[in-house]
Chain A
Amino acid sequence: MNQTPENTPESRLAAIRRRAEDQRRARMDTDAPKIHIGLATCGIASGALDTKQAFEQALAEQGIEALIHTVGCAGHCYAEPVVIIDHPQSGFPPIFYHQVTAGKAKMLVKLFLAGGDPRLEHVYGATVENDLIPSVMEFPRFNREKRVVMEKCGRVDPEDIDDYLAEGGYGALARALAMTPEEIVAAIEASGLRGRGGAGFPTGRKWRLAAAATAEGKVVICNADEGDPGAYMDRTLLESNPHQMLEGLAICARAVGARQAVVYVRAEYPLAVRIVTRAIAQAEALGLLGQGILGTDMNLDIEVFQGSGAFVCGEETALIRSIEGYRGMPVHRPPYPAQKGLHGRPTVINNVKTLASVPPIIEKGPDWYAAIGTEKSSGTAIFSVVGDVVHPGLVEIPMGVTLRELIFDICGGVPGRKGFKAVQIGGPSGGCLSEAFLDTPIDFDSLTEAGAMMGSGGMVVMSQDSCPVDVARFFLDFTQKESCGKCTFCRIGTWHLLEILERITVGEGREEDVELLQQLGEDIKDGSLCGLGKTAPNPVLTSLKYFADEYAAHIREKRCPGMMCRALTAYYIDLEKCARGCDACVGCCPTDAVFTTSTRKKGIDQALCVKCGECMVACPPEYDAVRKVSPASLAPIIERPVKPVAEAEASATPAKDAP
């Protein structure tokens, strides 16, 4: 095509961006205060919608002019609802407030927006360096991160493409349109980018394979199925900045020569589905996607397909089957999807994070990206760190940071006085690592070597009060249900693994079980077709290896060291400490297991107790009379006195299922 300077993709984009900036300036460039509220799923769950409403109402009541700007999630889930107030006239820098309830919102409008007092006791930090308020960048949770994929999350409004454009968005696409497909593939190869969907397959190699395929009708797919039951970074990325992924998807299509793209998002993520659908429409309207992208002859149709919630559909061949309208059962590779995928056509499937890494690579160059992280795992990793940590949420770090730095320095370590016991990495395909592994650097190969894997990027930190055996059982319960049933080893093997784990956690484990788990686990790995079966035994095998003593305690002593396995624990009330006449624990018991002894103290009827621990919470700290023990036989037996009539009625509802 004949391109004069006026109609190159870059100049077209410049025009589009100018208009976006103008529009944004018209809205944002006022002296009025700006209130940025995080409205992704985690924020909404913490009450951010109420907070927003409270701001609107208070602003109206006080007659204050201010701009409310809704943004996505910046990953600081422990601090939700998060609000950033930029009030230039007050003389203060933009301020990050955490846990802004509706009440706090009203207070801030009155005292800060109207009164000029930022209420320092509620401030988390300033978002920029200044002389008045310490900046959030002084906290390790902020300054130890390296944001490449999540850079714009929490800054842009995901429902407004102008925000993304004004932040430099779609610049990489314009540049890629001026490059040859070969140059794009070479750049991705040189960057060392590896797939963030779990296995870490070199993205450049995958693209090269698809680019070389000669068949017509190539397809590119963004895998946002995110089946790991404890990870949510793909969802957050889509909900907070969908355009970065879309831009990466378009660059991928350009590199391999595809005209059709699919974003495969799970239907359980309605907000993500809505935001992505809208983002596509906005980009098409501006000529950034769709027909004749930025004035070139490139066309790309993007559709959103809603995944129906099957873990195995995250596996690429199963995902393709489900788009075709069949049960999501994996098929044998090769042929790889890059050669023969959706409807038999060459198909590139990449994870959301992989695609979202592409625009920065094109923009800043492969060398810049390759310099981040380690030699064999370049770039950044995103983890959702949850469980027993002080600052849970999404964290993006350069590869090569150690687990200790991530868990203790960045996320604040285990709260309270409880020590660290284990960390489970990579969800149902990953493994459980002990303290001895804390100095392992986080990269694809080191984690695999330790027996875990990068997997989905889910990370659960466990304190001394948790049980690796129970967590292994939990994941097996999940993979057993999610096994598609195609291979015998996976279908029946996981069922047996689960059965053995279940019996161990209820105190019926046998001496030979450990051996059996090991053998069976290895057989399942060898005998399964797809990654689900090949990795399903990982949680069991790693915990067997690193927490052998926990298994032994469960099997031999019927004791759960973390006191998580309910069948092996019991609650009882220390009569020395229990206060006569206090009824705090009675009302909170859901099964009426708490009774009054003849001395007017309390006892727990072990037959009715479901071990929910509510009485322990309810017992006033000055008495602190409820004890939890394992094995259950350690609890002293306190007989329920012969019932007075009134009580007989109260206990007429029997516990439905004793554990």
Chain B
Amino acid sequence: MNPAESDTEAQLLKSLPEHLAPFGTERSNLIPILQMVQKHFSYLPAAAMEIVARHLDIPLAEVYGVATFYNQFRFTPPGRHPIKVCLGTACHVKGGDIILENFERKLGIRDGETTADREFSIERVACVGCCALAPVALVGETVHGNMAPSKIEGLFTRIQVEKEMAQRKKRENEPDA
């Protein structure tokens, strides 16, 4: 984590209690709270888990016990461009695992991991709901259907181009700011 990122995380942590306030302290709030925390930080940091355990007055181990049971929760930060490869039934029969492997090879990380620069992370998901387009991968929120290994290179080029365009725009805007 670079210094800027740990700074923002400290800030997020500071504002956590105020986001917790609307939730009651009954046990049935646990999962909605965890969902809120994950939305807030984009993952479940250890420090936040302690605050949640105190809020509900239950052992920290209980909080982890529940959080690790469900697929939705992650304990490492995702990349800025989270890649989700669908390995649902339709995507599996159309070779979704080959797509996953290609992303893994290209980025040098495995499913569930984040690149060192926190740009990308890879995750497998089950059925995105557009099986007619199988195999499917998501980059951020964008769904890419009919994926093929040869399309992956193009995807990264596009992300790079978009990033450079955004930077150029930012630079252009800066003088007036």
Q: Which residues of A contact B (CB under 8 A)?
A: 41-42, 44-46, 77-78, 80, 228-232, 235-236, 267-269, 305-306, 308-310, 322-328, 343, 384, 386-388, 392-393, 424, 427, 458, 460, 462, 466, 471, 474-475, 478, 484, 564, 588, 590-591, 610-614, 617-618, 655-657
Contacts and interface: CB of A to CB of B under 8 A. Distances in A.
A41 B69 contact: no
Contact of B72 (A309, A478, A613): A309
Given A384-B131, A612-B95, A655-B105, 9 more contacts: A42-B130, A230-B126, A310-B69, A310-B70, A327-B66, A386-B90, A590-B106, A611-B98, A617-B150
A323 B129 contact: no
A460 B128 contact: no
B20 interface: no
B32 interface: yes
Given A309-B72, A310-B69, A392-B131, A610 B101 contact: yes
Nearest to B70: A308
Contacts of B83: none
Given A328-B70, A612-B98, A231 B150 contact: no
Nearest to B126: A229
Contact of A614 (B32, B72, B149): B149
B143 A44 contact: yes
Interface in B79-98: 87-90, 92-93, 95, 98
B129 A427 contact: no
Contacts of B50: none
A475 B105 CA distance: 25
Given A42-B130, A230-B131, A232-B131, A325 B105 contact: no
Contacts of B87: 229
B122 interface: no
A484 B95 CA distance: 28
Contact of A322 (B26, B31, B126): B31
Contact of A77 (B28, B93, B128, B130): B130
A471 B93 contact: yes
Given A324-B27, A458-B89, A614-B150, A386 B35 contact: no
B48 interface: no
Interface in B29-75: 29-32, 34-35, 65-66, 69-73
A611 B65 CA distance: 40
Contacts of A475: 89
Interface string B94-135: 010010011011101000000000000000011111111110
B27 A392 contact: no
B132 A325 contact: no
Chain B residues touching A, range: 35 or more
Contact of B70 (A41, A232, A309): A309
Contacts of B72: 267-268, 308-309
B145 A45 contact: yes
A502 to B, nearest CB: 13
Contacts of A387: 89-90, 93, 131
Interface in B134-163: 134, 136, 143, 145, 148-150, 152
B143 to A, nearest CB: 4
B29 to A, nearest CB: 7
A306 B32 contact: yes
Contacts of A393: 132
Indicate the member of B126, B136, B152 with the most A CB atoms within 10 Å. Answer: B126
Contacts of B35: 267, 306, 308
Nearest to B143: A45
A590 B102 contact: yes
Interface pairs A-B: 6 shortest CB-CB? A230-B89, A229-B126, A308-B70, A77-B132, A45-B143, A309-B71
A232 B88 CA distance: 11
Contacts of A458: 89
B120 to A, nearest CB: 16
B131 A386 contact: yes
Nearest to A657: B101
25 contacts: A41-B130, A44-B143, A46-B130, A78-B132, A80-B130, A231-B127, A269-B129, A305-B31, A305-B32, A306-B32, A309-B71, A325-B30, A325-B31, A326-B27, A328-B69, A386-B131, A387-B90, A387-B93, A458-B89, A460-B89, A460-B93, A475-B89, A484-B69, A612-B102, A614-B149
A610 B98 contact: yes
Contact of B150 (A41, A78, A588): A588
Nearest to B91: A230
Given A310-B69, A328-B69, A42 B129 contact: yes
Given A325-B29, A424-B89, A41 B129 contact: yes
Given A232-B129, A306-B35, A384-B131, A590 B30 contact: no
Contacts of A484: 69
A45 B137 CA distance: 10
A612 B149 contact: yes
Nearest to A481: B71
Contacts of A232: 127, 129-131
B104 A656 contact: yes
A235 B27 CA distance: 28
Contacts of A462: 93
A588 B151 CA distance: 10
Contacts of B132: 42, 77-78, 80, 386, 392-393
Contacts of B93: 387-388, 460, 462, 466, 471, 564
A80 B94 CA distance: 19
A305 B134 CA distance: 29
